[in-house]
Amino acid sequence: MIGVLGFASIAVWFALSLWIAWRAARLVKQAWRKALVILAVAPLLFVAPVTDELIGKYQYERYCKEAEEVKIYGTIPVGEEFYTADGKWKMTNMSRRLEERNRLADIRKSLIRWDDGTGFGTEVSAAIPIQYWETRIYEVKTGRPLAGFRIYGSRGGWLSRMFLERAALMPAQCFPRLLRDGRIEQVLLPYSKNAGGEK
């Protein structure tokens, strides 16, 4: 239903853009200039409501490339409390019993601490509202930083925010691949045969 309404709205706006361009062309006397006015004004009017979104999409994509970077400052080598004997990460194995997964999560919390800062993002300069959130990961025992990265988010241009409540032409958030793949903690807690042990 929303798709049909969206298509109908686009069709109506396209027709209205042509009508306004045709009305503007009536002010010009020469036929070739009238055609030129219609060819210039109609497309400009048609894309005007989403101009901020088109420009903002390009800017947002640049920030999303920046968001791919995770700065790794240190690691905590661990043993078989997080890895199998052949070096496979246990945390992603959903076939493990819930108690076992909870135990691993408790051990992980005793080693690393995530700090997402405040709940409010920092606004960046762009054609559309774009915010970023700084995330830092620390070693619990010493407080030393292990990693840092940014997550960027946007709800799009004014048209998207008013009618869709989310960006129409771009993802609502972008963040590092290590986070998307769920591998960031595995990188920060690398396997070492000489570290840790089954707890």
pLDDT in tens, the chain (199 residues): 455 655 666 677 677 777 877 778 777 778 777 777 778 777 777 777 777 788 888 888 888 998 899 999 999 999 888 888 877 888 877 677 888 888 888 999 999 999 987 677 788 877 778 889 999 999 999 999 999 999 998 877 766 666 666 555 566 789 899 988 888 999 999 988 776 544 4
**Which one, of 180, 170, 173, lies nearest residue 52 by Cα?**
170
Domain boundaries, the chain: 50-188
Query: Residue 159's pLDDT is what?
Result: 64
Q: Determine the Cα angle at 115 with ends 111 and 116, to 5°.
A: 145
pLDDT of 175: 87
Characterize 7-30 residue by residue with b for buried, 16 or more Cβ atoms within 10 angstroms of its Cβ, and e for exposed: eeeeeeeeeebbeebeebbeeeee
Its pTM surpasses 0.75: no
Place of tokens 């940014």: 150
What pLDDT was estimated at residue 13? 66
Token pair for 129: 């509202």
What is the predicted pLDDT for the residue at 140?
95
SS3 at position 34: helix
pLDDT value at position 195? 66
